[in-house]
């Protein structure tokens, strides 16, 4: 593991109880940061925080609820004194259906968590970053947001929206020392697979030239660099980690 210096940094990782989020929390803690896991699965978030160590705390937060996010922001600021890093990672896959089979509420649920959630968290935390003129925001999008996966239009649209949110916010903050970037991973074997059909999982694997799923630690390594001071000129950008699938 390369050493990334996050000593003295304070981070929020949404959906940090498991999967990519947990790997990111582990990598941040190993790099010297204090981390607050914001996850709506309180029991799992607390278990994860305890397993990783005393630098990590857990808060029950539904990222779609603005007042819960503001309360958690205030609690995190009180506990840490500042928030340097925000990783918008909480997300769901939704059901695998064609557009015409998808209920409006199924569509809206995915958009609410995957796109409204990051907007609500950015809106709550950016003012604190502006005050200290320092921040690193990393949005966990997906290769689906660039390509549009069949039978996952809500998911693909939510991640395409998150990429555009990243680009807009990155430009708004470009004059400050606040970088906003997105990563677009290929599929990884996490609990999110429980929401998908085997046919869809096989489809995603078949699209990866490397012939395997990305490891959560590989995504965490990229996120750690994007969350560090070394990332000082890249902003509003999209970082590929798709095993060769992405063509742009
Ligand atoms: N695993 C993949 O194949 C893959 C690929 C590309 C991108 N992603 C993205 O990476 C992110 C993490 O995915 P994962 O595979 O680790 O998923 P996961 O299901 O393992 O973990 C997601 C976490 O988010 C939390 N969460 C869900 N809704 C929430 C809400 N409303 N408020 C707060 N917390 C909430 C869950 O409790 C869970 O702990 C997601 O945004 C996902 O879309 C995943």
**How many domains does the chain contain in total?**
1
Ligand 1 centre and the CA of 192: distance in Å? 6
Residue 60 lies in a domain: yes
- pLDDT of 80: 98
**Which atom of ligand 1 is nearest the CA belonging to 15?**
24
Task: State if residue 191 touches ligand 1 by the CB under 6 angstroms criterion.
Answer: yes
- pLDDT of 234: 98
Residue 245 lies in a domain: no
DSSP string, the chain: ------TT-EEEEETTTSHHHHHHHHHHHHTT-EEEEEES-HHHHHHHHHHH-TTEEEEE--TT-HHHHHHHHHHHHHHHS---EEEE--------B-GGGS-HHHHHHHHIIIIIHHHHHHHHHHHHHHHHT-EEEEEE--HHHHH--TTBHHHHHHHHHHHHHHHHHHHHTTTTTEEEEEEEE----SGGGGGS-HHHHHHHHHT-TTSSPPPHHHHHHHHHHHTSTT--S--SEEEEESTT----
pLDDT tens-digit series, residues 182-207: 999 999 999 999 999 999 999 999 99
pLDDT tens-digit series, residues 129-169: 999 999 999 999 999 999 999 999 999 999 999 999 999 99
Determine which residue's CA is closest to atom 17 belonging to ligand 1: 192
The mean of the pLDDT values for the chain is 97
Is residue 1 over pLDDT 90? Answer: no
Residue 247 lies in a domain: no
Return the percentage of the chain with pLDDT > 70, whole number: 100
Task: State if residue 242 touches ligand 1 by the CB under 6 angstroms criterion.
Answer: no
Residue 112 lies in a domain: yes
Residue 226 lies in a domain: yes
Domain enclosing residue 62, as ranges: 10-237
**Residue 155 is a catalytic residue:** yes
Residue 244 lies in a domain: no
pLDDT tens-digit series, residues 79-128: 999 999 999 999 999 999 999 999 999 999 999 999 999 999 999 999 99
Residue 3 lies in a domain: no
- CATH code for the domain of 143: 3.40.50.720
Is residue 174 over pLDDT 90? Answer: yes
Return the percentage of the chain with pLDDT > 90, whole number: 99
Residue 89 lies in a domain: yes
């Amino acid at each position: 593991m390369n050493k990334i210096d996050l000593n003295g940094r304070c981070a929020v990782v949404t959906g940090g109880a498991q999967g990519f989020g947990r790997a990111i929390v582990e990598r941040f803690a190993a790099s010297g940061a204090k981390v607050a896991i914001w996850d709506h699965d309180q029991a799992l978030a607390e278990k994860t925080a305890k397993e990783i160590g005393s630098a990590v705390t857990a808060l029950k937060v539904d990222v779609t609820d603005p007042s819960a996010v503001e309360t958690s922001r205030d609690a995190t600021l009180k506990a840490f004194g500042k928030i340097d890093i925000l990783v918008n990672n909480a997300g769901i896959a939704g059901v695998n259906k064609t557009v015409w089979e998808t209920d409006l509420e199924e569509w809206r649920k995915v958009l609410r968590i995957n796109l409204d959630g990051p907007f609500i968290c950015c809106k709550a935390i950016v003012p604190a970053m502006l005050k200290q003129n320092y921040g690193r925001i990393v949005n966990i999008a997906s290769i689906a947001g660039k390509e549009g996966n069949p039978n996952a239009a809500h998911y693909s649209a939510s991640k395409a929206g998150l990429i555009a949110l990243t680009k807009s916010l990155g430009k708004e903050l470009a004059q400050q020392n606040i970088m906003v970037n997105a990563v677009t991973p290929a599929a990884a074997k996490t609990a999110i697979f429980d929401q998908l059909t085997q046919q869809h999982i096989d489809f995603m694997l078949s699209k990866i030239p490397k012939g395997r799923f990305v490891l959560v630690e590989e995504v965490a390594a990229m996120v750690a660099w994007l969350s560090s001071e070394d990332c000082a000129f890249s902003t509003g950008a999209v970082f590929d980690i798709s095993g060769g699938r992405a063509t742009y």
